[in-house]
């Protein structure tokens, strides 16, 4: 069965009860198919930035990462956020391994436009490490910190990181946020969406604000891996068990 790549954000990591419930569901999923967890950690980074009185700047939704800030962002994402998730996975009886995009040559990483600072883009490279871990029933927990060929650490968007891991393992991608999926004008969950429908719903402002960003990220991911991507909620983890039977667990976004 195809591996399931689950992307979670930082808001989830800070909610210990929600994390325990979701990771218990992931444990059940992992009994049926290989699972990889990829995470961001924006809220944790924000806490560190505020504590250190460092300014946060975003361009097109991407955090500008200065060389001054990079050690703290690495510490927040590859350290605090990653090890919190690892510890929470241990608490539900799983056998996690904390990793970053830097490890095992799993991706190639290079700096993006200089205006973003130490921010990288990634492409798939070597699946050996993850394949070995999954074959031995470990749960890889991957933070979105990469490094270029010169050894420079780079901050990578977690959605992009998860997409590349899905490409690498030819896996199914599940993007989790704090919403159950995409809703129609009557606030009913849409089980599946195609790009033409999405364009119409955005034009009608049924899909708006932050959901536009999520849906466009899912469309990009679906196109790059050539298969549907699911948007679902970490607040409703029991719904994810439907994935065991290949049923919809939120909104399935199809590629062109």
Domain of 89, CATH number, reads: 3.40.1160.10
> Which of the listed residues 170, 187, 213 is the one where a domain comes to its end?
170
Q: Tell whether 145 and 80 lie within a shared domain.
A: yes
Enter the tokens of residue 55: 């300014």
Q: What is the DSSP string of 6-35?
A: EEE-HHHHT-HHHHHHHHHHHHHHHTTS-E
Burial tier of 128 (Cβ tally within 10 Å: 0-12, 13-18, 19+): exposed
State yes or no: is 2 an active-site residue: no
Query: Is residue 41 a known part of a binding site?
Result: yes
- Tens of pLDDT along the chain (256 residues)? 889 999 998 677 777 888 889 999 999 999 999 999 999 888 888 888 889 888 888 887 677 888 889 999 999 999 999 999 999 999 999 999 999 999 999 999 999 988 999 999 999 999 999 999 999 999 999 999 999 999 999 999 898 899 999 999 999 999 998 788 898 888 898 999 999 999 999 989 999 877 887 888 888 889 988 889 999 988 888 778 877 777 778 899 998 8
Tell me the C-alpha distance between 78 and 253, whole Å: 29
State yes or no: is 159 an active-site residue: yes
Query: Structural domain tally of the chain?
Result: 2
> Which of the listed residues 170, 191, 210 is the one where a domain comes to its end?
170
Catalytic annotation, pick one of 98, 104, 159, 250: 159
Domain that holds residue 249: 179-256
Q: Tell whether 251 and 190 lie within a shared domain.
A: yes
Nearest CA-CA partner of 29 in 101, 92, 100, 106: 92
> Which of the listed residues 170, 197, 231 is the one where a domain comes to its end?
170
Query: Is residue 63 a known part of a binding site?
Result: yes
Strand 251-253 to 229-233 pairing: antiparallel
State yes or no: is 10 an active-site residue: yes
Q: Tell whether 152 and 75 lie within a shared domain.
A: yes
Catalytic annotation, pick one of 14, 24, 42, 75: 42
Enter the tokens of residue 189: 């969950």
User: In which region does residue 84 sit, left (phi positive, over 0), alpha (psi from -120 to 50) or beta (all else)?
Assistant: alpha
């Amino acid at each position: 069965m195809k591996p399931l790549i689950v992307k979670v954000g930082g808001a989830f990591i800070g909610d210990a009860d929600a994390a325990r419930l979701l990771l218990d569901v992931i444990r059940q999923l992992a009994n049926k198919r290989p699972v990889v967890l990829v995470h961001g950690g924006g809220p944790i980074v924000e806490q560190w930035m505020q504590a250190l009185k460092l300014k946060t700047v975003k361009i097109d939704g991407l955090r500008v990462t200065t060389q001054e800030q990079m050690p703290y962002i690495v510490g927040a994402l590859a350290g605090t956020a990653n090890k919190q998730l690892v510890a929470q996975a241990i608490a539900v009886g799983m056998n996690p391994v904390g990793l970053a995009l830097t490890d095992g040559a799993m991706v190639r990483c290079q700096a993006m436009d200089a205006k973003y600072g130490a921010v990288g883009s990634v492409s798939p490279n070597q699946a050996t490490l993850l394949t070995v871990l999954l074959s031995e029933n470990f749960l890889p927990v991957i933070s979105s910190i990469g490094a270029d060929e010169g050894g420079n650490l780079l901050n990578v968007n977690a959605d992009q990181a998860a997409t590349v891991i899905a490409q690498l393992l030819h896996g199914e991608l599940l993007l989790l946020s704090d919403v159950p999926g995409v809703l129609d004008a009557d606030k009913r969950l849409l089980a599946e969406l195609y790009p033409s429908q999405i364009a119409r719903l955005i034009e009608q402002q049924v899909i708006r604000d932050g959901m536009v960003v999520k849906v466009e990220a899912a469309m990009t991911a679906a196109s790059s891996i050539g298969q549907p991507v699911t948007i679902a909620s970490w607040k409703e983890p029991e719904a994810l068990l439907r994935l065991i039977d290949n049923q919809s667990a939120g909104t399935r976004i199809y590629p062109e």
